[in-house]
Structure 1
Amino acid sequence: MKVRAPKNRTIDLTNEDRERFSQGLIRLDGDRALADLLNQTICQDVLEALRHLPPNFVDLLIVDPPYNLTKTFNGQTFRQCDRPTYTAWLERWITQLKPALKPSASAYFCADWATSTVLYPVLEKHFTVRNRITWEREKGRGAQANWKNASEDIWFCTVSETYTFNVEAVKLKRQVLAPYRTLAGQPKDWDDTGAKNYRLTHPSNLWTDITVPFWSMVENTDHPTQKPEKLVAKLLLASSNPGDVVLDPFLGSGTTAVVAKKLGRQYLGIEQDPDYCCLAEKRLALAGTDPTIQGYADGVFWERNTLNAQRSRPKKSTSKA
């Protein structure tokens, strides 16, 4: 285990953790009943596992596959390939994955800018593509001979014209810079809190309020492409309801399963690396005692770096002189 600085909150995996959490992992060698799959982590290659999943049981699909980049995941390297090869790889698992979805299911697919150009034509063949979310990924070093790559995409797809979208659940609390008042002097569509004023705004497809996990955050792990819990929470709250089943076929360090547990959804994750599977199970155990999601509180999402300041601000006095 790595030696961390005193204030480093990165979740580590000890040998005792591996022994404990590996016992709860499952592997599919044949078809299983749905009840045996819910709220489980499958430790297996995705193509092997998908053929044994039951049909039409998934309400929400969240997919964060290896992008078409050379990247090492715990000693295993996914290598960049030409577009036809990557397209064929996408087709292989997407065609096996789709039968598991309900007709009313929604699906979100993550990608960087280059992978998006290959992914979109494949998605268009199998789903109704409804939008492309672009989120600001502010972490990372600058480029010397190019623009810094500081954004990623999430493709929003549905199986049919019938799907869930809970717009009220994913509104963003934004600071009001030029507030309006009624003729009577009352705030119009915003909250008067004193020093700073906030209002709820409709969610757009441009997200600038996401913080990429880093060493001082309790959700941080050593997974090289870990997605923030706040990001996944937006997808779950918008496109599923309590008790719905969420599937993540490239689970990684477990963020989708963790957020599903925190928000009262059922989940199923597939991940081929045993260490990442155990890390996901450890995070799930921690979620049982700490259901908080950074940047999401009181039923709303807050702009980056505003929630703590708003909570620490003294409340406006209601007493009269």
Structure 2
Amino acid sequence: MYELNKLYNVDCLVAMKRIPDKYFELAIVDPPYFDGPNKRRFYGRDINKLNIKRKIYNVIEDWEVPSEEYFRELLRVSKNQIVWGCNYYDYYLGPGRIIWDKVNGQSSYSDCEIAYCSMHKKTKMFRYMWNGMMQGKSINEGHLMQGDKSKNEIRIHPTQKPVNLYKWLLLNYAKKGDKILDTHVGSASSLIACYDMGFDFLGFEKDKEIYKLAIKRLDDAMNQLSIFNII
């Protein structure tokens, strides 16, 4: 069994086989939605629709769309699940939905992202600006832009989600004492939110280079938060 409050560089499907049934109260996961980056060796396009050269993020060596076996294991080890990108998978999880409205204006990217939520059969929405340097002001004022861009989150992953999105999920779908699982950690936003809010967590990231960036980001956040707690 893996130690809690750690991020491991391991294949999540292999790792989950070592976890007892229903060990985690909640899994919040963001697996790769579609096939492609694993073949061209990077995520995204060199040139956007406006003919502007985009930043190419780090090469992704281990981009793999999850199999049906992954979902079976995820449901086995967790009591409840929030799964981003559920609209891309052939595997049906249930009717509950969470819509993240990214308030991204005229961006060429998607206006929103969709997650499956096992904890209700409704559709719930969270508005939080996330478009380059335009990032949300706060959880409660996510539709407004953060005025001081020096406080923006630094992006280290092509499909990075904001820490405040995960904090909103924890506020609404987790309770004190819950253990949280993230099988595809990516930028570590989910783990930073868990640490900041006092939830025990366990994270897996298969890609070695992404793992190195994520573990540094997580360590930096935990050390900074610890200093604030001491003060």
For normalisation by structure 2, the TM-score amounts to 0.70
> How many residue pairs were aligned?
192
Alignment-mate amino acid for residue 108 of structure 1 = I
Q: 2:211 aligned with 1:277, yes or no?
A: yes
CA RMSD of the aligned region, Å? 3.1
Aligned with residue 59 of structure 2, among 75, 88, 91: 75
Question: Any conservation in 2 of the 1:133–1:154 contact (CA below 8 Å)?
Answer: yes
Aligned with residue 205 of structure 1, among 124, 129, 137: 124
Distance 1:274 1:132 in 2: 32
Task: Report the alpha carbon displacement of residue 134 of structure 1 after superposing the two structures with TM.
Answer: 1.6
Q: Which residue does 2:115 correspond to in 1?
A: 154
Structure 1, unaligned stretches of length 5 or more? 1-31, 81-85, 162-203, 292-321
Residue by residue over 1:52-97, the C-alpha shift from the partner in whole angstroms, topping out at 9 and shown as x without a partner, is 22222101110101111523363236789xxxxx6xx431201122
Aligned with residue 200 of structure 2, among 262, 266, 273: 266
Secondary structure in structure 1 of the residue aligned to 2:89: helix
Secondary structure in structure 1 of the residue aligned to 2:80: strand
Cα gap change, 1:55 to 1:93, in 2 (>3 Å): same
Aligned with residue 157 of structure 2, among 223, 226, 234: 223
Identity %: 27
Aligned with residue 94 of structure 1, among 54, 59, 71: 71
Cα gap change, 1:273 to 1:234, in 2 (>3 Å): same
Structure 2, unaligned stretches of length 5 or more? 44-57, 134-148, 226-231
Question: Any conservation in 1 of the 2:34–2:88 contact (CA below 8 Å)?
Answer: no
Task: Report the alpha carbon displacement of residue 279 of structure 1 after superposing the two structures with TM.
Answer: 2.3
Matches within 5 A, 1:1-321: 32=1, 36-71=2-37, 72=42, 74-76=58-60, 89-101=66-78, 105-111=79-85, 116=87, 118-119=89-90, 121-124=91-94, 129=95, 131-139=96-104, 142-143=107-108, 149-158=110-119, 205-212=124-131, 214=133, 216-291=150-225
Question: Any conservation in 2 of the 1:106–1:239 contact (CA below 8 Å)?
Answer: no
For normalisation by structure 1, the TM-score amounts to 0.52
Distance 1:250 1:279 in 2: 14
Task: Report the alpha carbon displacement of residue 154 of structure 1 after superposing the two structures with TM.
Answer: 1.5
Task: Report the alpha carbon displacement of residue 274 of structure 1 after superposing the two structures with TM.
Answer: 2.1
Q: Rg bigger for which structure?
A: 1
Distance 2:8 2:89 in 1: 28
Question: Any conservation in 2 of the 1:260–1:266 contact (CA below 8 Å)?
Answer: yes
Cα gap change, 1:117 to 1:219, in 2 (>3 Å): closer
Secondary structure in structure 2 of the residue aligned to 1:123: coil
Question: Any conservation in 2 of the 1:136–1:207 contact (CA below 8 Å)?
Answer: yes
Distance 1:216 1:226 in 2: 18
Task: Report the alpha carbon displacement of residue 149 of structure 1 after superposing the two structures with TM.
Answer: 2.6
Distance 1:93 1:150 in 2: 28
